[in-house]
């Protein structure tokens, strides 16, 4: 979540190549033999992970809400008015879509670090045309009222809207950094448990249940 996140990828038990649960391990949906020490570590890993993933998702949802509020602030800054009802409906719809995807996911990999930033930028790119239409509408109102200078200013701001909105979204996510930092000790605990396991893949490589950022 942002560039200071401590996680590169953490997957929770669920459909996929690796599944863990109650000290059991499945690779490709096939049970894998686990010794007693690794079984204990898997149980602890699962417990910590199950408590961690909802919190990561919660931070991601707050990030989505902050980003969308930043979009609203950008519109108020440019036009002096809130987004139009159509634009506001699009903002709320996008929020609901992303929240639903976060709820349905079984991994944190899409909701932190560069992946989350890409999601926010994609959302901004999708909303720019809608918000630009709001700016154009306001500019037309000013022009019809005889304020040609004001209309010209809005036109220039509309051209810069993609850049200014992205910058505002990035700034809006900065308050999440303390939340991300508070998650890091448990992520390191997961890494230590994983490092202590003797589990190997079929090709002999160590099984990585998560990766930490360099």
Instruction: Write out pLDDT tens, residues 148-206.
Output: 888 888 878 777 888 888 888 889 989 988 998 888 888 888 888 888 888 777 777 77
Q: What per-residue confidence (pLDDT) applies to 109?
A: 65
| 32 inside domain | yes
Q: What per-residue confidence (pLDDT) applies to 65?
A: 94
Q: Rounded distance, CA 1 to CA 7, Å?
A: 8
Q: What per-residue confidence (pLDDT) applies to 199?
A: 78
136 is in which domain, residue-wise? 7-212
| 119 inside domain | yes
Residue 116 or residue 71, greater confidence? 71
Q: Rounded distance, CA 33 to CA 49, Å?
A: 21
| 31 inside domain | yes
| 1 inside domain | no
Closest CA to 1 of 146, 122, 108: 108
pLDDT in tens, 2-52: 444 555 455 444 444 666 766 677 666 667 777 888 888 888 888 888 888
| 203 inside domain | yes
pLDDT in tens, 55-99: 888 988 999 999 899 989 988 888 788 888 888 898 899 899 989
Q: Domain tally for the chain?
A: 1
Q: What per-residue confidence (pLDDT) applies to 100?
A: 93
Q: What per-residue confidence (pLDDT) applies to 13?
A: 43
| 46 inside domain | yes
Closest CA to 31 of 58, 22, 73, 45: 22
Q: Rounded distance, CA 117 to CA 123, Å?
A: 10
| 2 inside domain | no
pLDDT in tens, 128-142: 887 788 788 888 888
| 87 inside domain | yes
């Amino acid at each position: 979540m942002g560039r200071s996140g401590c996680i590169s990828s953490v997957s929770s038990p669920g459909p996929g190549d690796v599944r863990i649960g109650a000290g059991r391990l499945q690779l490709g949906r096939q049970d894998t033999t686990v010794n007693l020490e690794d079984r204990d570590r898997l149980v602890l890993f699962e417990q910590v992970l199950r408590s961690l993933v909802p919190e990561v998702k919660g931070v991601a949802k707050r990030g989505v809400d902050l980003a969308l509020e930043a979009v609203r602030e950008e519109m108020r800054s440019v036009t002096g008015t809130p987004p139009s009802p159509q634009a506001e409906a699009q903002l709320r719809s996008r929020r609901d879509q992303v929240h639903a995807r976060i709820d349905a996911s079984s991994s944190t990999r899409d909701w932190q670090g560069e992946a989350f930033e890409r999601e926010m930028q994609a959302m901004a790119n999708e909303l720019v045309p809608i918000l630009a239409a709001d700016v154009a509408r306001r500019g037309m109102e000013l022009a019809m009222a005889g304020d040609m200078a004001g209309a010209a200013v809005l036109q220039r701001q509309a051209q810069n809207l993609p850049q200014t909105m992205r910058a505002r979204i990035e700034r809006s996510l900065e308050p999440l950094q303390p939340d991300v930092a508070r998650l890091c000790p448990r992520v390191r605990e997961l890494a230590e448990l994983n490092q202590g396991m003797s589990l190997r893949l079929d090709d002999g490589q160590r099984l990585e249940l998560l990766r930490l950022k360099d």
